[in-house]
Structure 1
Amino acid sequence: MTALPDWMRPPRSEGWFAEDLDRLPEAPRHTELIDGALVFMLSPQRSWHGRLVTSLTTALMATTPADFEIEREMTIRLDERNRPEPDLLVTTAAYDPDRTWYAPEMVQLVIEVVSPESAPRDRTVKLRKYAEAGIPHYWCIEDEDGAPVVHVYELDEPTGVYAPAGIFRGTLERPVPFEISLDLDRLVPPRSV
């Protein structure tokens, strides 16, 4: 067994903090911080996941109003011990080429495309953490026989938790955070037989 590289050792006994991610150039791409622990995406990304994220980015950018921005694979600093990296986010913050993270109050919608490796985090941990941070909208996209299925959640202000707002197959139409109409079946090519 090889020794752990020095950069992987937490800088303090309490573990990692959100600002530490900006000081870890050796860390693999897509490193997240969840409850003070570094989370690495170690499994290879599936083609379905990559194509869906790219197509969804393009589709949303084509219809996004001027006061919103679409960002891909940028972390959200939920608090000092949590900095997850969603696949996509919709923000009201102006573009800043030097930005490395967003604050929750800047984010209107978080989109996670579920992969086998990220499923428990996307379906439960991130669902709870994004709601606790006050992010108004969350989409969790699943692969259903090669077709995207979008589970949509809205923040229930009085309770501070997400309420299911629908499961969408084929098409998705939502009035929030802006008018969104998507042909889900066109986001990824059908599976070859």
Structure 2
Amino acid sequence: MSDSSRAASSGYPEVMTAAERYDDADDESFPTRQVRLPVVPPGGFTVADLPKLAGVIDGRFELLDGDIVMMAPATHWHNQAINLLWFALRSVAPEGTIIAREAGVDLGSSVPIPDLVAVSVGEVVASDIAFSPTDVCLAVEVVSPSTKTKDRRFRPAQYADAGIECYWRVENEEDAMVVYSFELLPEGGVYAPTGVHRGRLIVDKPFPVDMQLPAVTWS
């Protein structure tokens, strides 16, 4: 099936093909590949488009103001940290709260995908791919070298503006997890820092947590 046939069957306009070439200081080109992206419709994409988009985009992506933003590959440390935190938080989350991995937050024309979220179980169904921010009480981002600016500056502003009660940023400090915790101010729209946690994570919100931060190892 041709690219145009695939695009037509997906319900989206014909895709655009793009290939970029980058040269380093020694004038040696990096390998390149073609990336197929649907043409952005008037008004942009929304969360309702995610199932179809997932079928035609080869790679992980988010929506930002109706446009597609490709996500960089994660490091091994990043993936290990997410796995360990997911298991650890599941063991301490109160009844009625689930810990979900890489689920979107529905902001309409923007759909960020935190590494972990804590969500009210009553609002979860098997087919969910994104949750309303009113159902999310915690968003967690594990910082990678390619996401430092996004996770330290842009994500907190985005999640606070959406009204998510708590935000945790997880940093790599000599291969150990360090958790920076934040809580939404009463007036909303802005987070206040509540702690820097090394070795042990103790917080009261969004639910009481007192646990050892698991070591990130390769075994």
Q: Which residue of 2 aligns with 1:93?
A: 121
Alignment partner of 1:99: what SS?
Answer: coil
Q: Which residue of 1 aligns with 2:31?
A: none
Q: Partners of 1:121 and 1:34 in 2: how far apart?
A: 12
Alignment partner of 1:172: what SS?
Answer: strand
User: Cα deviations across residues 54-87 of structure 1 (Å, max 9, x unaligned)?
Assistant: 0110111112111101100000012x22100000
When the two structures are superposed, what TM-score results if normalisation uses the length of structure 1?
A: 0.88
How many residue pairs match? The answer is 186
Asked whether the equivalents of residues 51 and 187 of structure 1 are also in contact (C-alpha less than 8 Å), the reply is: no
Specify whether residues 8 and 42 from structure 1 end up closer, same or farther in structure 2 by C-alpha distance, changes over 3 A only: farther
Q: Which residue of 1 aligns with 2:66?
A: 36
Q: Which residue of 2 aligns with 1:135?
A: 164
Alignment partner of 1:126: what SS?
Answer: helix
Asked whether the equivalents of residues 68 and 92 of structure 1 are also in contact (C-alpha less than 8 Å), the reply is: yes
Q: Which has the higher contact order (CA 8 A, sep 6+)?
A: 1
When the two structures are superposed, what TM-score results if normalisation uses the length of structure 2?
A: 0.78
Asked whether the equivalents of residues 16 and 37 of structure 1 are also in contact (C-alpha less than 8 Å), the reply is: yes
Q: Partners of 2:127 and 2:40 in 1: how far apart?
A: 25
- Counterparts of residues 52-131 of structure 1 (less than 5 Å): 52-78=81-107, 80-94=108-122, 95-131=124-160
Q: Does 2:208 correspond to 1:179? A: yes
Identity of matched residues, %? 34
- Counterparts of residues 9-48 of structure 1 (less than 5 Å): 9-12=39-42, 14-24=43-53, 25-43=55-73, 45-48=74-77
Q: Partners of 2:153 and 2:207 in 1: how far apart?
A: 25
Unaligned runs of 5+ in 2: 1-15, 19-34
Q: Partners of 2:215 and 2:117 in 1: how far apart?
A: 17
Larger radius of gyration: 2
Give the 4+ runs in structure 1 shifted more than 6 A: none
Task: Provide the alpha-carbon RMSD of the alignment.
Answer: 2.0
Q: Which residue of 2 aligns with 1:3?
A: 17
Unaligned runs of 5+ in 1: none
